[in-house]
Structure 1
């Protein structure tokens, strides 16, 4: 198998993550004006409701499949057998999810107004399963995934403007959302044959696969519950206004966090393959590159967002959401902790088959987060919710790091990692100076924000190069060689 470039994969996956996050930002302002409030309510409720069943259908299969399948990817016969077994388990979990979904629609009469929209969204269950995107992650086929994603997002935007014109067109909007999200998965299933033969099989080794899959699934459920609990508790203890203000801060935080994690998660199949083949030295080398890259990317993203939080809220949401500025500034620091936690979890604990420890850490953090919300929200409302999120993300980062300390510890203590962190801190001072000077000198909101981003990137990169940071010099060499046509 031809070795893929981690740098190119990171760029492609970052682009795909950006598209997935930008798509709602393009569509939402349009549909919120065209659709009625009731229509948007039906759409939002149905989407949220079906997502719980999407979680059941997924069952944690994707994460497990990438970890286990990466070591078989060079053997077509072995990967075909493995992929077929995983696909069979996934189809079975999807069937269970559909039975539970239909059962709930028959039992709960208050869901009758949502039935049609829920059934439209439920197509995601089947198409996500047959899409076998985990197979493309195993083979690091990010170019195919990204090109396909761009094409379907563009088609979806065109369909949106063609079909959604009146307050009652929420079903069209739901169908287009599904098409944008999973419509291309039919192509995935057909194209998957170029990697291996994938089919339903009778001789699935349920005993071997099911325990780790269920542990990963339980961890995913715990994450979903503790992430959702913030907004739920805020709504119970305060009001819709508080939830709306906090929701904007979370939306912006999620966009930036998704961009950073999208650049880093491409290393997961490579690390899983290396540890699966007992190539510990190579594994440690790649893991150190990932952690050092996060040191270089995470802190400047957080500092930049803190400095531009007011401008970003004004551009994305408008003046009526400015009360969320402090919440955004607080929750932004969770960027650093959450991405380190993701790396420790997905790149260390899962490949090393320590998913039970990851589950334990998530449950502990979830309980602490819920408790902190009940303490902080009465005191500081949505700002308290943001603070509890930061503390929770720090806790889960610490616990995941401690669970993988035999691999993570030597890397964090290394001179190279320490230098990357120091270089990043010094570089961030340059970002602060740039943003402050532009706030003083440029009154135009859009121009000030654009210049702040561009000049901050240039200033930060220049400082890293001046400090002879290895990662910055490596990227500079790549850019220089590309420009020279090498």
Structure 2
């Protein structure tokens, strides 16, 4: 599991660094309007791709992890990718009919047509197969390769504010390029077979996961879509900048949880409660350890993050960013309760109920708040919806399992961040440069947090990691 976690951590770091490198450059070049146009097109296409996927990216991990032979694995893979291919073709037709007939899309039809590739080629996304086999090395190395090419393409082909279509093509390449490589290399691990396959047995669980997956992603992207329909491209660009910067850290926060899902699934299937409890306790501690300081640090340094990574044109996004700063905690806990407990246990129905409540709350709040508060209203709806869903996830986990959750870790992490605000205030008082304020405050806050956690609260996770690093350093020095 340590090796799997390393590669999944590498993938998370790449997924964090890629937008940190590309988004500031793109936002400075094409501005809030261009960013808004591109992101609205992507989110609209992704909403169709999400439905076409039928929950397979989530359901497939558990289905492959439970396959105990190559023949069964090939059969399961073939059944699921066939389902995805058929639904992808159907929803591609629906998507293109909508964008060519509804007047709203006419001014930027080339943009939405290009984004349609996300729907049409959605079936090529087979990371669920590799995750089910815990083959995180291939996923990570492939992602590094494609993202490096994407960075080069960005600097070559995005030179002015009119290059937003080029920017969209590069983003699509970073997604679809990954998927196509994975599909080509999958021949080393399985075979596509059409004889004897039965897709009916997958439909019921897949549809429940689909409902949950639609709900999860819909209330996560519904805010951006509604902003585009109810306001303008600039507001969408400002909102996306704020949310994007906050979400940079999320792949890292959930990285440990993603790497242990196959192991959790097997141990739950084999009723190995002691190992399940150990894995879940470790994952929960990891999420809290990272999410709390990231949320408080993001809130405190929102101004500097916006100025450094997006520029002066995005200053109006600061209040929005402060509202959504708590997102890493809610999303991290939501991932913990849903994908690490409910899905491996087969409680897809309960997951659907929780996420459906999130969709309802998101729709009601977005329609109520956006006309009056714009992007801040959408951010508020986003936070409340995530809180509702995470709370219901916890309710169902608590109802069906006896799992000890150490909530005191939340308080200890928050108390360890108590000096963040005065540190940021002093940095702003002595330095005018937002880069210096961000760098010095970030380093100082991180050191203070680690010291509090290590020596005052005796964080066992941090002690274990620091002891391992110290031992490796000793061994290296002895050589």
What TM-score do the two structures reach when normalised by structure 1?
0.86
Please report how far the alpha carbon of residue 351 of structure 1 lies from its aligned counterpart in structure 2 after TM superposition.
1.0
Deviates most, 122-131 or 475-484:
122-131
What's the Cα RMSD here? 3.1
Please report how far the alpha carbon of residue 280 of structure 1 lies from its aligned counterpart in structure 2 after TM superposition.
2.6
Q: Does 1:471 align with 2:461?
A: yes
Does the 8 A contact of 1:10 with 1:262 survive in 2? yes
The count of aligned residue pairs is 475
Please report how far the alpha carbon of residue 353 of structure 1 lies from its aligned counterpart in structure 2 after TM superposition.
1.2
Q: Does 1:404 align with 2:397?
A: yes
Distance 1:172 1:420, change over 3 A: closer
Partner of 1:269: 262
Equivalent residue runs for 1:78-157 within 5 Å: 78-104=72-98, 117-125=111-119, 127-157=121-151
Please report how far the alpha carbon of residue 308 of structure 1 lies from its aligned counterpart in structure 2 after TM superposition.
0.8
Q: Does 1:192 align with 2:186?
A: yes
Partner of 1:327: 320
Bigger RCO (CA 8 Å, 6+ sep): 2
Q: Unpaired segments of 5 or more residues in structure 2?
A: none
In structure 2, distance between residues paired with 1:109 and 1:378: 22
Distance 1:450 1:44, change over 3 A: closer
Equivalent residue runs for 1:53-452 within 5 Å: 53-72=48-67, 75-104=69-98, 117-125=111-119, 127-164=121-158, 172-195=166-189, 197-234=190-227, 242-377=235-370, 380-406=373-399, 410-412=403-405, 417-452=406-441
Partner of 1:22: 20
Deviates most, 361-370 or 238-247:
238-247
Q: Unpaired segments of 5 or more residues in structure 1?
A: none
Please report how far the alpha carbon of residue 422 of structure 1 lies from its aligned counterpart in structure 2 after TM superposition.
3.8
In structure 2, distance between residues paired with 1:330 and 1:30: 23
Distance 1:315 1:161, change over 3 A: closer
In structure 1, distance between residues paired with 2:422 and 2:291: 18
Does the 8 A contact of 1:340 with 1:397 survive in 2? yes
Which residue, out of 446, 458, 481, partners 2:471? 481
In structure 2, distance between residues paired with 1:320 and 1:166: 15
Deviations 1:390-443 (A, max 9, x none): 22222111101001115666321xxxx245334312311243443333233333
Please report how far the alpha carbon of residue 279 of structure 1 lies from its aligned counterpart in structure 2 after TM superposition.
2.3
In structure 2, distance between residues paired with 1:335 and 1:182: 26
In structure 1, distance between residues paired with 2:348 and 2:472: 41
Please report how far the alpha carbon of residue 372 of structure 1 lies from its aligned counterpart in structure 2 after TM superposition.
3.0
What TM-score do the two structures reach when normalised by structure 2?
0.87
In structure 1, distance between residues paired with 2:195 and 2:299: 54
